[in-house]
Every structure is written in structure tokens, then in C-alpha cells.
């Protein structure tokens, strides 16, 4: 399978499962069920999850995934962000949708989608990342909302979700890189209310992890787990519920904590809006071309 064919297949799968999620009524459904059903659908369609499905509620902007048998249920007052990653042979599609059943949040949901749409129009080979950020910021501000300043889109590489280049959600000052042809990028506006802080901070919950180093930890069982994690996920993120397939949950948590202390793993804390206000998100993956772009997740 060629480079672009892998991206294209991953994008089609991601788009399909995202739109299925958008149509579903999740009130009364546990976040466990949401994550596991979406991840199962990805696998049935011939892809693999590129990271644990994120199900971030309300003021949590990102990085919450279900714990094993997570009892949290979606309420009809919740604003639910579902962030989905699909990989095919390591090539990644990253996409997200915000779902709300409360009409008072319709415009906040819509502004993230509109900002994404306007940003995509701007994004082609040789477009400046700062110009894309300016479009996102202006679109959100014009509708009376705030962009989240310290969250951004990102470049993608094989088996690497955040590959070193950031596409801001605000206008930035100073030098800015230009998008490169045939390089994959995820663009993901986040918006909050006018009385929001517009900045996210790390929360206490951390239940998504990734390999930082393969240096032996000197704990035999932990090193065995590290080898298993590398064989299965490489540098892609994973969750505790993904490793309870071959370890009981208490053992999985103990070994994970050892690897965290030894800095073999790093954790992704949840990201929470500074004033505790609702956050919405929209996201697509695209590959810039000369004068246009290929959006893999449309």
C-alpha cells in the first residue's frame, strides 16, 4: 500500500466512525461503551486506533479516555467531544466532533466547525501556519466566542501523532513555518464561551500514556510490559483498558506506575478550561497540495 493510499484508507475509516458517532444518542451511555464501541468499529473496518478514543466532557477540552468499566454516563446537559484516531500501517487520520443535546450550546458547537471549515480553505502547500491560526481566531471571535490559545493542530508522521510542528488556533507574531506539500497535518479549533479563560490547564486525571524510552527499567515484569507495549503500539498512545487484555487491572496499573517513575512512559493529563467553561472542538486531517489540499477525513 502506498503512502497516500494508507492515509486515504485511515481517513475514510475515521470519517465513517465519526459520522456514525455524530448521529447517535449517547445520553445514559457510559463513556466506556462509547470508547469501546468506536474502537471496535475502527478495527472491523480494517484500521486500528491510533490512540484511545477521547471522550472529553464539558470543561475538559481533551485527553480523557474511559477507564476500565468506567461508570461515567453522558447526561443531556453534557457537551461531549469525541476525538478519534485511526492508523493504517502507521499512517494516521485524526478527527473530532462535538455532540450536544442542549440547544443553548448549538452556536458554540457550530463555531468550532465553522472555524475548521474556514481554516481548511486557507490550508495548502506554502500557506503559513500563522495565517491559518488567524483565520481560526477571527472566525471564533466574530461569533462572540473565544479560541483556546494554548491548544493547536499538529503535523503527523508515521506512528507519530504530534510530529513537531504546530498549527495555532490564534494569530501568532514572529516567524511561522509554511505547510509542506504531501505532509499530513491535523487542524483542530477549540472554542469556549466569552467568559471563558481561553486557556487550558493540566488536570489531575492522567489515563492516556505513551512510550518515552525503551531503556530497561530494571524491573523484569515492567520491562516485559514495555516490550509488549512497543510491539503493539510503538510510540502511539494507549490506555490501561487496552492492556488489561493480558494483565489484571491492579497489575497493569502497578507496572504502568513503575514505568512512569522510571520515565519509560509519559502521561497525557486531561486539559481543563481555566474558568471551567464549556469547550467545543472540531478536527480534520489534511495533506496540502500545490494550490489545494486533500482532506482525508471529510
Reduce the DSSP state of residue 78 to 3 states and report it: coil
Q: Which residues on adjacent β-strands are paired with residue 95? A: 84
Q: Which of 83, 137, 223, 273 is catalytic?
A: 83
| Per-residue H/E/C for 189-239 | CEEECCCCCCCEEEEEEEEEEEECCCCCCCCHHHHHHHHHHHHHHCCCCEE
Q: Which of 59, 78, 94, 273 is catalytic?
A: 94
Average pLDDT, the chain: 96
Boundaries of every domain in the chain: 3-198+275-295, 203-270
**pLDDT band for position 135 (cuts 50, 70, 90):** very high
pTM metric for this prediction: 0.96
Is 290 noted as a catalytic residue in this protein? no
Is 188 noted as a catalytic residue in this protein? yes
pLDDT at 58 (0 to 100): 98
Cα-based distances in Å from 101 to 79, 109, 177, 248: 8, 11, 39, 37
pLDDT at 2 (0 to 100): 57
Q: Which of 137, 223, 273, 283 is catalytic?
A: 283
Q: Which residues contact 119 (CB under 8 A, 6 or more apart)?
A: 132, 135, 136, 139, 187, 189
Q: Which of 162, 197, 249, 266 is catalytic?
A: 162
Instruction: Please give the Cα distance from 223 to 214 (Å, whole number).
Output: 9
**pLDDT band for position 158 (cuts 50, 70, 90):** very high
Reduce the DSSP state of residue 171 to 3 states and report it: coil
Q: Which of 70, 154, 223, 284 is catalytic?
A: 154
Is 154 noted as a catalytic residue in this protein? yes
**Fold for domain 203-270?**
Arc Repressor Mutant, subunit A (1.10.10)
Contact 236, 159 (CB under 8 A): yes
**Fold for domain 3-198+275-295?**
Creatine Amidinohydrolase (3.90.230)
Is 33 noted as a catalytic residue in this protein? no
Is 162 noted as a catalytic residue in this protein? yes
Amino acid at each position: 500500500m502506498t503512502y497516500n493510499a494508507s492515509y486515504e484508507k485511515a481517513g475514510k475509516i475515521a470519517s465513517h466512525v465519526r459520522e456514525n458517532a455524530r448521529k447517535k444518542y449517547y445520553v445514559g451511555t457510559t463513556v466506556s461503551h462509547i470508547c469501546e464501541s468506536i474502537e471496535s468499529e475502527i478495527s472491523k473496518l480494517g484500521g486500528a486506533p491510533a490512540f484511545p478514543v477521547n471522550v472529553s466532557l464539558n470543561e475538559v477540552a481533551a485527553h480523557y479516555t474511559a477507564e476500565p468499566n468506567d461508570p461515567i454516563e453522558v447526561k443531556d446537559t453534557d457537551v461531549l467531544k469525541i476525538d478519534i484516531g485511526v492508523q493504517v500501517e502507521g499512517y494516521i487520520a485524526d478527527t473530532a466532533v462535538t455532540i450536544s443535546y442542549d440547544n443553548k450550546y448549538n452556536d458554540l458547537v457550530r463555531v468550532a466547525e465553522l472555524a475548521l471549515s474556514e481554516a481548511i480553505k486557507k490550508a495548502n502547500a506554502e500557506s503559513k501556519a500563522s495565517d491559518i491560526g488567524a483565520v481560526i481566531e477571527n472566525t471564533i471571535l466574530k461569533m462572540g466566542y473565544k479560541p483556546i490559545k494554548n491548544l493547536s493542530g499538529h503535523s503527523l508522521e508515521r506512528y507519530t501523532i504530534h510530529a513537531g510542528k504546530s498549527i495555532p488556533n490564534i494569530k501568532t507574531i514572529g516567524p511561522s513555518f509554511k505547510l509542506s506539500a504531501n505532509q499530513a497535518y491535523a487542524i483542530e479549533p477549540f472554542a469556549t464561551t466569552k467568559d471563558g479563560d481561553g486557556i487550558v490547564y493540566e488536570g489531575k486525571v492522567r489515563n492516556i500514556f505513551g512510550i518515552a524510552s525503551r531503556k530497561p527499567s530494571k524491573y523484569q515484569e515492567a520491562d516485559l510490559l514495555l516490550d509488549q507495549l512497543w510491539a503493539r503500539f510503538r510510540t502511539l498512545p494507549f490506555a490501561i483498558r487496552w492492556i488489561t487484555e493480558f494483565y489484571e487491572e491492579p497489575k497493569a496499573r502497578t507496572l504502568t506506575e513503575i514505568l512512569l517513575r522510571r520515565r519509560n512512559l509519559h502521561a497525557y493529563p486531561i486539559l481543563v478550561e481555566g474558568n471551567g467553561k464549556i469547550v467545543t472542538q472540531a478536527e480534520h486531517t489534511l495533506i496540502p497540495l500545490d494550490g489545494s489540499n486533500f482532506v482525508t477525513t471529510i
